[in-house]
Structures are given as structure tokens and as C-alpha cells.
Amino acid sequence: MRVAPLFSTLAFSFVALTSLPSWAYRDYFTPEQKALLDKIQTVRIEAIALADQGAVDAAPIAELVAVG
């Protein structure tokens, strides 16, 4: 008969933890910074591609990111 209290405790803990905001959440931007981010129209992309033979052409990676 110890299963019922254990199950109810686990169920309560699950419900309590899922309804609370995340403890690990951190807001990295101030409201002023968020307002500036909303105004961004152009993003500069610089890509570097390295392989086991050394540097390779990164243009395809930059193009993929620019299209996506």
C-alpha cells in the first residue's frame, strides 16, 4: 500500500515543476537591446570552413546561411 502515496507525490511534483517557469532561464538582453534587435534589416555573414586538409572554400556555407 506504499505505492499510492509514492505515486501521488511523484504526480504532484511533476505537475508543480511543469507549471513553474524555468529556473535556468536567463534574459540576456535589456529592453533597449531587444528594441534595437527588432530594427535589424541586414545581417553580415562570415564563414570559415576547416577540413582535415586545412582551410577550404566557405562560400557554399555562407550562401546556405544567407538563403535560410
State residue 56 phi and psi, 5-degree precision: -130, 170
Report the residue count for the chain. 68
Residue carrying the nine cell digits 528594441: 35
Under 8 Å CB-to-CB from 43, ≥6 apart: which residues?
A: none
For the segment 16-23, the average pLDDT, to the nearest whole number, is 58
Q: What pLDDT score does 22 carry?
A: 59
Total-model pTM: 0.39
Q: pLDDT digit string (tens) for 24-50?
A: 667 788 899 999 989 988 888 888 999
Which pLDDT score is estimated for 33?
92
